[in-house]
Amino acid sequence: MSLPGSTAQAPSTRVTPGADGARAHLLTAGSVDDYRRVLAAGVDRVATRVAGADRPFTGVTPDELAPRIAGIDLDRPLGDTDAALDELQDVYLRDAVWFHHPRYLAHLNCPVVIPALLAEAVLSAVNSSLDTWDQSAGATLIERRLIDWTAERIGLGPVADGVFTSGGTQSNLQAMLLAREESCARETGRSTERPSRPELLSRLRIVTSAAGHFSVQKAAKLLGLGADAVVAVPTDAERRMRTDELAREIDRCRREGLVVMAVVATAGTTDFGTVDPLPQIADICAAAGVWLHVDAAYGCGLLVSPTRRHLLDGIERADSVTVDYHKSFFQPVSSSALLVRDRRTLRHATWHADYLNPARMVEQRIPNQVDKSLQTTRRFDALKLWLTLRIMGPDAIGALFDEVVDRAADAWQMLTEDPRFEVVTRSQLSTVVFRYLPTDAGRDVVDEANLHAREALAASGAGLVAGTKVDGAHYLKFTLLNPETTRDDIAHVLDLVAEHAGWYARTTATAELSCPVG
């Protein structure tokens, strides 16, 4: 399917270089000088663009950009690095969204630290695959050490384990897979009637909060559970899971013959940055014998925070935990992990293939990461965190995360004192959900005014904010993950939002007043 604005192309004359010419592009002992030169040229282009970016986005639209990309004949190579980089500047670098810019305030995208970029260059060139020992060697042990380090930071205990993943969605999916299999095994063992697998799956339920991540619903669907398998319990005024409602829901499920296979608590909701009351939730799950998963994809930065680690109290009692280093550890995408309290539960992701990881390797104590991963071929993404810790250290990462949380508190204070806006709740992390409130003449178009403001701001490229819905109404959202963002940056973006939204409300009200009735 073509993008908007794409055009059909006539068949081209294919250029087929000889094997000798193609071989010159392989990274080998004979091409290391070219390797150094080519990578330096690419780094220089990016560095120049980063240094010169005066706004986070150009405002380019799909209709504007698609014809440029569709018009490139991929069967006719340019044959020259500089020419290819010139072309890349036109179709990508010039219009890229720059998360490093202090007025990018939209999604959970962070600027990245230089030690992790160094690791990207190393791991891409070596190209280790983390599925088996004989494809990775030391990379396997480095990843395992980082899993142990993270589990220690969480406090999961001596038999904890885990594996790096592509992101929070995959981590949550695997956690739900483990919870499902553990629940099925437990229920089958309890029953004398040996319920069929389909019948048992139809009775499984996942309980999460109304502010939880959508990947939980997606995981339920991928795992073959029913459309009603995910039960969302209400949140309190601070958008944290209500524990009284959680207890009530677990009791209801039991009375109706349903099986709660997992409770998903959130340590850092995407919209509100709130942390569910983990100690109380852990108490309820322990009493009910229910798997507790904590989605800390966003809030995992608290693990290294010098001042806010206590916000994660209770996470050490989870059966599984999702962490996204590429959110709050300032790592490039992708860098995530799933941690489990009991390493034996990872067996539910194991499949032995004779050509890859035969069962005898377990007896020989050969560490194959594919034994506990949903992926087979997998990048050595752990190296990015490894070099970051070895060069910067965890305290430095935590200090950066504390800065963005402090900046969100500044933004919340500014919004509460500004009569042009209303703010939903104070985040425990670094998001702020708010909206512009038009004057009386424009009150009827408050949703439309805020939607327009977000779109107009993005079109200008002067700043980027996210949007969401709260109780059915449209709101805007700051997600602050850049320590370079200042109060002045926030104030400037708020003025732009008010300008765009106010213009929409005024012109709409004027148009309605000038329109004859009847």
- Residue 275 contacts residue 303 (beta carbons within 8 Å): no
- As averages over each run of 10 residues, the pLDDT of the chain (518 residues) reads 49 54 91 96 96 96 96 95 96 96 97 98 97 95 98 98 97 98 88 78 96 96 93 96 98 96 97 97 98 98 97 98 98 97 96 91 91 96 98 98 97 97 96 92 87 97 96 96 98 98 88 54
Residues 385 and 415 grouped into a single domain: no
For tokens 């009603």, name the residue: 228
pLDDT of residue 505: 92
Cα(first)–Cα(last) distance of the chain, in Å? 46
Residues 196 and 326 grouped into a single domain: yes
Residues 362 and 423 grouped into a single domain: no
CATH of the domain at 222: 3.40.640.10
Query: Is residue 11 in some structural domain?
Result: no
CA distance readout (Å), 430 to 44, 271, 401 = 32, 10, 9
- The DSSP string of 203-240 is HEEEEEETTS-THHHHHHHHTT--TT-EEEEPB-TTS-
pLDDT of residue 444: 85
Query: Is residue 427 in some structural domain?
Result: yes
CA distance readout (Å), 176 to 203, 219, 281 = 15, 7, 17
Residues 378 and 427 grouped into a single domain: no
pLDDT of residue 205: 98
Residues 195 and 283 grouped into a single domain: yes
Give a three-class secondary structure readout of 128-172. CCCCCHHHCCHHHHHHHHHHHHHHHHHCCCCCCEEEEECCHHHHH
Query: Is residue 126 in some structural domain?
Result: yes
Query: Is residue 249 in some structural domain?
Result: yes
Which SS3 state, helix, strand or coil, does residue 373 take? coil
Residues 195 and 154 grouped into a single domain: yes
Of 297, 495, 293, nearest in space to 414 by CA: 495
Q: In which order are the strands placed within the sheet that holds 104-105?
A: 104-105, 464-470, 473-479, 431-436, 421-423
Among the candidates 391, 419, 441, a domain finishes at 391
Among the candidates 391, 416, 448, a domain finishes at 391
pLDDT of residue 4: 52
The dihedral through the CA atoms of 161, 166, 167, 170 has a sign that is negative
Query: Is residue 39 in some structural domain?
Result: no
CATH of the domain at 490: 3.90.1150.10
Q: Which domain holds residue 433?
A: 395-514
Residues 177 and 267 grouped into a single domain: yes
Query: Is residue 90 in some structural domain?
Result: no
As beta bridge partners, residue 480 has: none
Query: Is residue 163 in some structural domain?
Result: yes
267, burial (CB in 10 Å: exposed 0-12, middle 13-18, buried 19+): buried
**Residue length, the chain?**
518
Residues 456 and 510 grouped into a single domain: yes
Going by C-beta distance under 8 Å and a sequence separation of 6 or more, which residues neighbour residue 394? Answer: 304
The dihedral through the CA atoms of 280, 282, 283, 287 has a sign that is positive
d(CA 415, CA 422): 7
**What is the chain's Cα-based Rg?**
26
Residues 453 and 381 grouped into a single domain: no
pLDDT of residue 516: 52
Q: How many other CB atoms are found less than 10 A from the CB of residue 394?
A: 17
Q: Is the peptide bond before 334 cis (omega within 30 degrees of 0)?
A: yes
Q: Where are the beta strands (DSSP E) in 220-335?
A: 230-233, 259-266, 291-296, 320-324
Residues 191 and 314 grouped into a single domain: yes
Residues 335 and 424 grouped into a single domain: no
Query: Is residue 75 in some structural domain?
Result: no
Among the candidates 391, 415, 439, a domain finishes at 391
Count of domains for the chain: 2
Residues 122 and 232 grouped into a single domain: yes
d(CA 200, CA 205): 10
- Residue 93 contacts residue 47 (beta carbons within 8 Å): no
